[in-house]
Amino acid sequence: PRLPRYTRSDHYAELREKLDALGHRLGGTYRVLVDANHHVDREGAARAGVGFYGKNTLLITRRHGSWVVLGTLVTDIEIDRSEPLALDCGSCRLCIEACPTDALDEPGVLDSTRCLSYWTQAPAPIPEEYRGPLGTQVYGCDICQDVCPWNRGIEKRRAGAASGPEAEPVISLVDWLEASDEDLCERYDRLYVPRNDARYLRRNALVAAGNAGDPGLGPAVRRHAEGEDELLRDHAAWALARLSPAEVG
């Protein structure tokens, strides 16, 4: 399994540094807001003409499509105003049709309770109806971006810039199921994990293990099926039921 593109490095840290440098260059009093839940970056970006709202609810830019992270620089310096883009998705419905759980039930509206990305980050059991559609995805979901025409060709342009172990992170399900809590949280500190609790990463890995259909994962899964954590026991039992009984029974 692979992690989604936006987690392949700490893009928010890079953005924070660049916005801070810009604020310093402009002078005056400023504040950098990055990954701040009390501020809607997409709305400010859309009004400023950075991009436009796609039917998948994400901001789509001309050059990078929706493969961007957003932040805001609040300043008391007067700067030139830019206008919103006169662009939209037209008649395209690829993201709506590709969503396996119909979370995009109408253009520009996301039902988060049906969104796979939401459930990989929620501090609760993943409903059984969404476990199968998750496949071997252990965190997030890129489907509505993968199919977007505005994102075509962007991966090729970035290929030359990708380097290092974080460029294409492939995770091991056995590792996620057996590593210590401290180790998991430290290695994946760039991911949002509820209460910084590694059990939610393990929960996701158990679902992925059940969908992977690899009997060799049985021992690692069974460990949690026999453990004391009710959340993990439930997901492990589900995973074991999907693995070959002859191999894991």
User: From CA 134, how far away is CA 155, in angstroms rounded?
Assistant: 23
* Contact predicate 73/23, CB 8 Å: yes
- 149: its two tokens: 């025409």
User: From CA 192, how far away is CA 227, in angstroms rounded?
Assistant: 25
Q: What is the DSSP string of 113-138?
A: GG-HHHHHHSSSPPPHHHHHHHTT--
Amino acid at 54: G
User: From CA 85, how far away is CA 71, in angstroms rounded?
Assistant: 18
DSSP for residue 127: P
User: From CA 246, how far away is CA 109, in angstroms rounded?
Assistant: 45
- 91: its two tokens: 């008649």
- Establish whether 35 is a catalytic residue: yes
Q: Which one of 35, 88, 111, 214 is the catalytic residue?
A: 35
Amino acid at 127: P
Helix (H) / strand (E) element for 175: namely helix 173-178
DSSP for residue 151: G
> Which of the residues are catalytic?
35
